[in-house]
Chain A
């Protein structure tokens, strides 16, 4: 039972080894935090709730607009960016990135990790 949590934490740790990732979290689709490697000053519970709302909202709008399947949400800000993608039917993976991040590389790694997370759950 505890192993699952450890596995998730290991995945998050591995993500941080990509230089551009500042922090990450696994969030349940209902907005509850499962595992967090976000910077300690961040209120990760709130971020989790908002990420679930953002992904849920985006997925719904994609459906309304009839533009195919949902891939990810990228939020771009003046000092950084963050990406949220689905990780199986029950979870979401969120990554906080440096402004200058190599998005292509990060997305690739995130997709790999999301698949792993989906399998664990």
Chain B
């Protein structure tokens, strides 16, 4: 059986989610906030009535709860295996805690595992466990850690547990990393790349394409730096930008956009900047400026004015839309004289046409999702 991670695209690349009663490794580089990433998953599982166990070796339970609270994530009945408080000379509150500071690493590892196993046995029902994180114990040797992790697998089966181990790669030997990877059922990579001074976090499973994400106040969201909205005069581009965004500004005069619209989207697992172009031909030179480095295009057409479709296709060409993912918003579908979607598809001769109404906020999110799917084509 597969269980959802609460991150739609991650579920998709994992073919429905992670296997129940299995172990997962999140292998991260040092620039990714792997703890917040995994806390989003933890929250989703708790909301789905799993019991949560959090093994922490570097942050105190108070700090973890604080972080989850700030993101608005669920941490109800979360049980901590606290291996840090005593080291910091704080009194641990959890029943499962190292009672004193242990300086010898092998002993600390052993004690941690003991507490972990005890917690697994004590708690009934389906469990999600976060092990944050393995690098604390890398000093005892990857071989030894991997051995213990393999051993734990049986216990996961018996106690209905899915466990997510975290490991930041601080430049360990490839061999060592490989050993840890081989000890789990699923490995997901978390990494960072720089693209022209934008730092982009991604997750990646197997050889599948990287999925870029950002962690915002709404949690882990797919991240596309820039989407362009273009289309003929009066097709509803500005209205679309404003309806999609939390915050948007327009440079418009006399009811028409003369420079650009800019909006920022941060909702429902999607994060991006959107740029709207003017539609009138006399501003065509600005299309080149605005379309620079865009990841995807939304072409907005007026469903009541088929005579503008030719111009729409020209604009798509102008912004090099045919070379990157694009979708078409057949706008003003709420109007009585709007042409049917099928007819518009036929007349445009282009795929991925979505019926929208920017003023009534209909079809927009669905269309945006389709564009994101095209950008992060998984299969």
Q: Report A's interface with B, CB cutoff 8 A.
A: 1-2, 4-5, 8, 26, 28-32, 34, 43, 45-46, 49-50, 52-53, 56-57, 60, 90-91, 121
In the bound complex, do residue A49 and residue B260 qualify as a contact, i.e. CB atoms below 8 Å apart?
A: yes
In the bound complex, do residue B275 and residue A46 qualify as a contact, i.e. CB atoms below 8 Å apart?
A: no
* A43→B260 CA distance, assembly (Å): 16
In the bound complex, do residue B262 and residue A49 qualify as a contact, i.e. CB atoms below 8 Å apart?
A: yes
Instruction: Report 30 cross-chain contacts, Cβ distance below 8 Å, ordered by A residue.
Output: A1-B192, A1-B199, A2-B31, A4-B197, A26-B197, A28-B197, A28-B198, A29-B292, A30-B290, A30-B292, A30-B293, A30-B294, A31-B262, A31-B292, A32-B225, A34-B197, A43-B247, A45-B264, A49-B260, A49-B275, A50-B260, A53-B259, A53-B286, A53-B290, A57-B259, A57-B286, A57-B289, A60-B289, A90-B196, A90-B197
In the bound complex, do residue B273 and residue A32 qualify as a contact, i.e. CB atoms below 8 Å apart?
A: yes
Interface residues of B in 242-279 (CB under 8 A from A): 247-249, 251, 259-260, 262, 264, 273, 275
**Residue in contact with A91 in the complex, picked from B192, B197, B275, B290, CB distance below 8 Å:** B197
User: Given the complex, which residues of B lie within 8 Å of A43, measured CB to CB?
Assistant: 247, 249
Give the total of B residues in contact with A, Cβ under 8 Å: 26
Q: Does B285 contact A (CB under 8 A)?
A: yes
In the bound complex, do residue B196 and residue A28 qualify as a contact, i.e. CB atoms below 8 Å apart?
A: yes
Q: Report B's interface with A, CB cutoff 8 A.
A: 31, 192, 194, 196-199, 225-226, 247-249, 251, 259-260, 262, 264, 273, 275, 285-286, 289-290, 292-294
In the bound complex, do residue B275 and residue A31 qualify as a contact, i.e. CB atoms below 8 Å apart?
A: yes
Closest residue of chain B to A31 (Cβ to Cβ) is B275
Q: Shortest Cβ distance from B253 into chain A, in angstroms? A: 14
In the bound complex, do residue A28 and residue B293 qualify as a contact, i.e. CB atoms below 8 Å apart?
A: yes
* A22→B260 CA distance, assembly (Å): 26
**Residue in contact with A60 in the complex, picked from B247, B259, B285, B292, CB distance below 8 Å:** B285
Closest residue of chain B to A5 (Cβ to Cβ) is B199
In the bound complex, do residue A50 and residue B259 qualify as a contact, i.e. CB atoms below 8 Å apart?
A: yes
Q: Shortest Cβ distance from A75 into chain B, in angstroms? A: 13
User: Given the complex, which residues of A lie within 8 Å of B194, measured CB to CB?
Assistant: 1, 4
User: Given the complex, which residues of A lie within 8 Å of B225, measured CB to CB?
Assistant: 32
Q: Shortest Cβ distance from B105 into chain A, in angstroms? A: 29
Whether A32 touches B198, Cβ cut-off 8 Å, given contacts A46-B249, A49-B260, A57-B259, is yes
User: Given the complex, which residues of A lie within 8 Å of B247, measured CB to CB?
Assistant: 43, 45-46
Closest residue of chain A to B292 (Cβ to Cβ) is A30
**Residue in contact with B197 in the complex, picked from A46, A50, A57, A121, CB distance below 8 Å:** A121
